[in-house]
Chains A and B, each alone.
Chain A
Amino acid sequence: MYLFGYRLPGMSSLILWGLLWEIVGRAKLTFFVPPLSEVIETLFSIIGTPAFQKALLETAYAFSFGVFFAVVIGIVVGILMGKNRLLDELLLPWVNVFLSAPLTALVPVLMVLFGFGMQSIIITTALFAVWIIILNSRAGVKQINRSLVDMANSFGASPMDAFFKIYFWAALPEILGGVRIGIIRAVKGVIIGQLLISIVGFGALFELYSANFLMAHFWAVLIVLFALAFTISEFLAYLERRVSYYAAKR
């Protein structure tokens, strides 16, 4: 965007919103919104504390395992659904149901099934992310150029070769799109898991800060979480752009 002839760097609008936040905070309209400067000050003061680092570690642990399972299962199931009509008919209704289902309501069931520990949190995280990855991988395979499949077959490609050398690459732009959205959902999943299943990680911090009305602390942790999710999502968007040169020409 250009303003008075100057090219503004990306996300300049954040400055405006930050200013608005600061003004609302200073005006003391509500205790719920402390000034941004105070939030950032708190952020730097808590970032080195053992409690914060433990929370970060626990959250990262559950998040990365959950995302890992969601990505691997999602891509494989999605591609197989795209390839196999029978599997597609069997699974598609469930995928659609779970995609739009209020998964939070399922968390108590998971607790009964898998206990109150890290395992349930990881499964919750994976459940939030996996459905959109399945759907996108499936869509990527559905639009594959038939003659690429014929070509691979005509040269005697084994099913494994076809899977890894044709279907996966042909669907990669859609897969990355699905993984990006899935990861954003996984952030939700991991926090909800930490709040509902066992109070650990960032979930525990949120609980602690909001119960004690430590709003600056609360917002500081939230900003950290947003920043992390945003960074991962931007990284995946970058990967998507890397493969976009062939997305339109398959």
Chain B
Amino acid sequence: MAMSQIKEDSNQTEVVKSESAVSVKNITKNYGDIEALRDMSLEFPRGQLTSLLGPSGCGKTTLLKIIAGLLEPSSGYVEVNGKSVTGPGPDRAFVFQDFALLPWATVLNNVAFGLEMRGVAKSERESIAEKYIGDVGLAGFENSYPHELSGGMRQRVGLARALSVDSDVLLMDEPFSAVDEQTRRKFQEDLLSLVQNENKTFLFVTHSIEEAVYVSDQIAILLPRPSRVSEIIRPSSFRGKGVDNIRRDPEYLDIVDDIWSSLRTYVE
């Protein structure tokens, strides 16, 4: 840890250790000679949102895909709910940066796809899918195709698909980076209430400092070459103040500034 940690609550650290939904233990990932991740360990507390934040090339997406079971680490292991990860599993669902929707399928079939892969019968998965389509605010678009929707609506489909399988852990890979600024703000607010209302653990990869501080219970700053966790920040005071007040809270602004000053040397 290069920099002193900002306002870390020692009581919460205790809770964190025993209540991790996801534990990353000494993960190293090599692509040939290139070391993408070196000996990385991280804890993701249950029921909270943890952001992975860092400059591009710091391996945050690689780490997320290892946790998802889509990539194999060169050494080390990942535990989800105490069980070692060997591949993708029903305890995790992934939200993709480019939405990863099936262009030939309707919104309904896209949302139901995860349930279909898990062997849920057609009528049941469609009624579950319809519920989540309504939850993300897309009721009435069940029979539309992805190319008929805006970017923001497409990511709502991706989110509904991930929510519909009811996994404990939601892995989000820069989910809002491909939508416009205003939609992104709305998404961030919706995400906060989602974290509050759903009893799920969120892992959130982003390259936006403001976004990370705004939505996160815990922010892990990753630094590149080789990728490592440089510090963990837990904002403490502004989370309960309501979505409208966060962006002018002094702690929010301080954390944003501190993160930028520690990252700026890594940005060309």
Is this pair of chains taken from one and the same complex? yes
| Interface, chain A (partner B; CB < 8 A) | 145, 147-148, 150-157, 161, 165-166, 169, 172, 243, 245-246, 249-250
Q: Which of B73-81, B84-92, B179-187 lies at the binding interface?
A: B84-92
Task: Give residues 174-204 of B contacting A (CB, 8 Å).
Answer: none
Residues of B within 8 A of A (CB-CB), count: 26
Which residues of A lie under 8 Å from residue B69 when comparing CB positions? 154
Nearest Cβ in chain B — how far from A35, in angstroms? 50
Number of A-B contacts (CB under 8 A): 61
A169 lies within 8 A of B70 (CB): no
Q: What CA separation (Å) do A24 and B60 show in the bound complex?
A: 74
Nearest Cβ in chain A — how far from B69, in angstroms? 8
Task: Give residues 121-178 of B contacting A (CB, 8 Å).
Answer: 145-147, 165
Chain A's closest residue to B99 (CB) is A147
B165 lies within 8 A of A148 (CB): no
Which residues of A lie under 8 Å from residue B165 when comparing CB positions? 155
Which residues of B lie under 8 Å from residue A148 when comparing CB positions? 100, 102
Known: A147-B96, A148-B100, A250-B103; 16 extra A-B contacts, CB below 8 A, are: A153-B70, A153-B88, A154-B68, A154-B88, A154-B93, A155-B113, A155-B114, A155-B165, A156-B90, A165-B102, A165-B113, A166-B102, A172-B104, A246-B104, A246-B145, A249-B103
Nearest Cβ in chain B — how far from A132, in angstroms? 23
Per-position 1/0 for B250-263, Cβ under 8 A of A: 00000000000000
Report if B94 contacts A (CB, 8 A): yes
Contact of B104 among A153, A155, A243 (CB under 8 A): A243
B146 lies within 8 A of A155 (CB): no
Nearest Cβ in chain A — how far from B68, in angstroms? 5
Report if B98 contacts A (CB, 8 A): yes
| Interface, chain B (partner A; CB < 8 A) | 65, 68-70, 88-90, 92-94, 96-98, 100, 102-104, 113-114, 116-118, 145-147, 165
Given known contacts A145-B98, A249-B147, A154 and B104 CB-to-CB distance under 8 angstroms = no
B88 lies within 8 A of A155 (CB): yes
Which residues of B lie under 8 Å from residue A153 when comparing CB positions? 70, 88
Which residues of A lie under 8 Å from residue B70 when comparing CB positions? 150, 153-154
For the residues of A in contact with B, the DSSP-based class is: helix
Which residues of B lie under 8 Å from residue A172 when comparing CB positions? 104
15 contacts between A and B (CB under 8 A): A145-B98, A145-B100, A147-B100, A150-B96, A151-B113, A152-B117, A153-B88, A156-B88, A165-B102, A169-B102, A245-B103, A245-B145, A245-B147, A246-B147, A250-B103
Q: What CA separation (Å) do A195 and B100 show in the bound complex?
A: 51
Which residues of B lie under 8 Å from residue A245 when comparing CB positions? 103, 145, 147
Which residues of B lie under 8 Å from residue A165 when comparing CB positions? 102, 113, 116
Which residues of B lie under 8 Å from residue A250 when comparing CB positions? 103
A246 lies within 8 A of B103 (CB): yes
Q: Which 10 A-B pairs have the closest CB atoms?
A: A246-B103, A151-B100, A155-B117, A154-B94, A147-B100, A155-B114, A157-B117, A154-B88, A169-B104, A147-B96
Nearest Cβ in chain B — how far from A143, in angstroms? 13
